[in-house]
Amino acid sequence: MTFRVLVSDKLAKEGLEIFNNAPGIKVDDKAGIAKEDLLKIIGEYDALVIRSATKANAEIIAAGKSLKVIGRAGIGVDNVDLGAATRAGIVVMNTPDGNATTAAEHTIALMMSMARKIPQATASMKAGMWEKKKFMGNELCNKTFGVIGLGNIGRIVADRAVGLKMRVIAHDPFFDADAAAKLNVELVSLDDLVERADIITVHTPLTNATRGLISVKQIEHMKPGVLLVNCARGGIMDEAALLEGLNSGKIASLALDVFSKEPVAANDPLVMHEKVICTPHLGASTMEAQVQVAIDIANQIIAFARGEPAKNAVNLPTASPSELQQLGPYVDLARRLGSFCAQLINGQLKKVEVQYWGEVTEHPLTAISQGALAGVLTGAIEGVVNAVNARVLAQERGIELVENTTAKPVSAHDTGICITVSGAQTHTAAGILIGGQLPRIVSLDGVAIDAALDGHILVIRNVDKPGMIGQIGTVLGQGGINITNMQMGRDREASEHLALINVEEPAAIDALAKIGGVRFAQQVTL
């Protein structure tokens, strides 16, 4: 039986050739296909290969009646609806290693360009000038280099900096100090890194926790004349704060490959600033990287078509195609519960315990537990974390995984999953599937509750007294936040109410926390 593959974005010819030469594979190269046309034909294909242009949203996935796998030639899968794909039993693969070296080298190139003012000196000479004294630079040897995030790219950047004889310090709350020492890297707090580093680079994903990670507060505590690099994601560094730091002289030079809004406006003040070096999101743009990700995704999909375990599956553990339909919803539930608990913890994680009861215990529990680990780690480290690599990443960071089953239901439901995440704090969440598909949380920290595990969720604990719900609703209304659902639970022992509030957009947590009687307020995004 022929396995049909549709390529909807431009893919290097080396990848297409691998598809064309594979027995039992029929590939159609329709790079640049319009969404309307894609919707008409996607139902005929077993696999969809994309890069960043195609948006594999819920509508596309629903139309892909025969789809078994979506392959992303690259790292980021922001353009894929992972929840819809998982519930449909569709594996989403990426190629996490294909462009890591390229992105790391671009970071080093920008750092060197800043240190020696190469772009400015080039522009000066092209303008007919010889301004030798104007472009005095700095050596990198023996400078303190601060790396925020020790994912795939961050570790390569740190390795290259060590080779340049720089003192490398790093901040990553999910990385183990002993593992960092093996990289010749000193693991420090974010505050310590900001105060000590001569050059700072970020390599984290963009999440609620990392948005604006480098802000006015951090810049105020940096060394005068600090150099900053961002080749990760726009928005991790507050762009208004960067501009202020450049104008004040605190930041000597800034190198940006990514921006909060892309493409950037022609008159963007950061782009136009004389102390800024910038490139149009070129981190992964080398011939070698484009060829490698094309080769990687072609080989991965062909192996999957032959019934081999799914490699680099973003949303599912290693599994054969025949297991996907049953595993998918449970892995999705575990991933959401893990992410939910992890986002409530402020500080380093140490342990993830996954407990099962009922019918779910008939499935491969290790695979589901790895989905939980992926949820815990996603958003905390750079790059996409999947159930294939979650256990290794957890071990690198000293995070213990414990699995067990129980004959006694954790909640009033016949089957489900309970996840406990421990570290600086401990949080426990139990969940079930409604109709075997829709994930729900039915208990949080021992308080019975029932809410959808999707979108933006406000988690609020307040004293058990009249008027609290009204005050919370008033603050949200004043902030223009629309509530889509609110579920309440009562913790009689603590004399508290627990509220899980689904909202359409991020809310002002600080304002909620200031309400008298509110003891805890946190936003979770799934």
Active site residue 413: no
Active site residue 281: yes
Contact indicator for 336, 385 with CB cutoff of 8 Å: no
**Preceding peptide of 317 cis, ω within 30°:** no
- Distance CA(369)–CA(353), nearest Å, equals 9
- Side-chain half-sphere exposure of 185, counting CA atoms within 13 A: 31
Catalytic annotation, pick one of 233, 335, 456, 497: 233
Kindly report the backbone phi and psi dihedral angles of residue 380, in degrees, each rounded to the nearest multiple of 5, phi listed first: -100, -25
Contact indicator for 167, 193 with CB cutoff of 8 Å: no
What letter represents residue 367's amino acid? A
Q: Is 357 left (phi over 0), alpha (psi -120 to 50) or beta?
A: beta
How far is residue 71 from each of residues 111, 306, 315, 381, 501, measured CA to CA in Å?
33, 15, 12, 22, 34
- Distance CA(15)–CA(291), nearest Å, equals 7
- Distance CA(90)–CA(92), nearest Å, equals 6
All residues at 6 or more sequence positions from 230 whose CB lies less than 8 Å from its CB, including other chains = 201, 202, 236, 237, 255, 256, 257, 258
- Distance CA(130)–CA(134), nearest Å, equals 9
- Distance CA(112)–CA(351), nearest Å, equals 40
Contact indicator for 397, 175 with CB cutoff of 8 Å: yes
Q: Which helix (H) or strand (E) holds 1?
A: none
- Distance CA(376)–CA(348), nearest Å, equals 11
Active site residue 323: no
Catalytic annotation, pick one of 87, 106, 167, 281: 281
- Distance CA(348)–CA(377), nearest Å, equals 11
What letter represents residue 452's amino acid? A
Catalytic annotation, pick one of 36, 262, 274, 493: 262
Kindly report the backbone phi and psi dihedral angles of residue 309, in degrees, each rounded to the nearest multiple of 5, phi listed first: -55, 145
Classify residue 277 by burial, with Cβ atoms within 10 Å: 0-12, 13-18, 19+.
buried
Contact indicator for 184, 130 with CB cutoff of 8 Å: no
449-452 CB contacts, 8 Å cutoff, 24+ apart: 449/487, 449/488, 449/489, 449/498, 449/500, 450/487, 451/485, 451/487, 451/500, 451/502, 452/485, 452/502
The catalytic site residues sit at 233, 262, 281
